[in-house]
Amino acid sequence: MSESLDAAPVAPARRRRRPRANLGRWAKGGGLHAVLFAIPVVLVYLYFSWGPVVQGLAFSFQKTNLIRPAEWVGWSNFEYVLSDPGLVQASLNTAYFALLALVFGFPIPIILAVLITELRKYDTLYNALAYLPAVVPPVAAILLWKFFYDPDTTGLFNSVLGWFGLGPYPWLNDASSAMPSIVIYATWAGAGSTAIIYIAALSTVRTELYEAAEIDGAGIWRRIWHITLPQLRNVIFVMMLLQLIGTFQIFTEPFLFTGGGPNNATQTILLKIYNYAFVNGDFGAATALSVLLALALGLLSAFYYFVTRRWSSA
């Protein structure tokens, strides 16, 4: 991406300007303006983006409590974090959430997008209804859903399911059903905006391919399977990676729904980081775990990139 953005215009300009670089000419040629425009950009990124990343790496090797100056402690933060008995559980929970979100949450937007694209009328209405949950603030939606998930027989979901003779289900109150309940909410909240992205991608599918397949006698399902999905392949790969990266950093949902309970069943890695930093005040341990998670996600992305690149070219 970066190559196509700015590689082209730079080379010839540099070749011409090199021999007589002088300050007056530089200022007159727009160099001063460029610096003026760069100042706010560089300051904001330095303070709030680049700086914290570098600091994060440094903090993970330091012990600091904000009062005394930080001291370097080597790998001890990492040793502490890795020996925490809760880490295995939190990692497993996070992976479980990512897996469930992938199994349930991933196909729904694709199906939704394919169906909506086929509509000839009212497709904007369908689009808008599907996207609606994405504009609802998560905090308000979670409070609402927490009430819907009331384990009593009079809880909203339980009473509706009761009409069909199902339930009552314990939802968030049981260790085995708490995480799936959070996944159902997350799917509701996220499916619409993902579907919109697929719909945009579907509008670029070459329609001659459908024409050709139809002439060759392919039915509707075979056209979806052999043309639509392969044409979406690259978008699907990217969205899957983005979803994985997102789900491994899940925080707000377990924090507000269950606070990590019941019995640590929804304790995630980000909840642990939050607890280290803002409950225990141990910023070193928090950044160490952050760095480990970022490293894992980086490795995952690289691995994913190499695997899917082979598939995309095949």
| Nearest CB to another protein, comparing residues 31 and 107 | 31
81 binds another protein (CB under 8 A): no
33 binds another protein (CB under 8 A): yes
| Nearest CB to another protein, comparing residues 177 and 228 | 228
67 binds another protein (CB under 8 A): no
307 binds another protein (CB under 8 A): no
Which one among 87, 95, 102, 115 touches another protein, defined by CB under 8 A? Answer: 115
Which one among 105, 155, 190, 260 touches another protein, defined by CB under 8 A? Answer: 155
Rounded least distance, CB 128 to another protein, Å: 5
User: By CB under 8 A, which span of 79-87, 91-99, 173-181, 232-240 interacts with another protein?
Assistant: 232-240
| Nearest CB to another protein, comparing residues 233 and 307 | 233
User: By CB under 8 A, which span of 79-87, 89-97, 169-177, 270-278 interacts with another protein?
Assistant: 270-278
153 binds another protein (CB under 8 A): no
Residues 179-208, interacting with another protein (CB under 8 A): 188, 192-193, 196-203, 207
Q: Which two tokens stand for residue 64?
A: 């600091």
Indicate the pairing of strand 62-63 with strand 71-72. Answer: antiparallel
Rounded least distance, CB 76 to another protein, Å: 17
Which one among 65, 252, 263, 280 touches another protein, defined by CB under 8 A? Answer: 252
Size of the site for another protein (CB under 8 A): 116
Q: How long a stretch of residues is the chain?
A: 314
240 binds another protein (CB under 8 A): no
145 binds another protein (CB under 8 A): yes
- φ/ψ of 240, rounded to 5, equals -65, -40
281 binds another protein (CB under 8 A): no
| Nearest CB to another protein, comparing residues 71 and 118 | 118
User: By CB under 8 A, which span of 74-82, 94-102, 168-176, 216-224 interacts with another protein?
Assistant: 216-224
294 binds another protein (CB under 8 A): yes
| Nearest CB to another protein, comparing residues 103 and 281 | 281
Please give the full DSSP string across the chain, using - where no structure is assigned: -HHHHHHHHHHHHHHHHGGG--HHHHIIIIIHHHHHHHHHHHHHHIIIIIHHHHHHHHHTTEE--SSSPPEE-TTHHHHHHHT-THHHHHHHHHHHHHHHIIIIITHHHHHHHHHHHH-SSSHHHHHHHHHHHHHS-HHHHHHHHHHHT--STTSHHHHHHHHTT-----GGGSHHHHHHHHHHHHHHHHHHHHHHHHHHHHTTS-HHHHHHHHHTT--HHHHIIIIIHHHHHHHHHHHHHHHHHHHHT--HHHHHHTTT-STTTT--HHHHHHIIIIIS--HHHHHHHHHHHHHHHHHHHHHHHHHHHHHHH-
73 binds another protein (CB under 8 A): no
40 binds another protein (CB under 8 A): yes
For residue 145, count CB atoms less than 10 angstroms from its CB and return exposed for 0-12, middle for 13-18, buried for 19 or more.
Answer: buried
User: By CB under 8 A, which span of 47-55, 92-100, 171-179, 306-314 interacts with another protein?
Assistant: 47-55
Q: Please report, as a single letter, which amino acid is at residue 54.
A: V
Q: 132, 129, 133: which is closest to 119 by C-alpha? A: 129
304 binds another protein (CB under 8 A): no
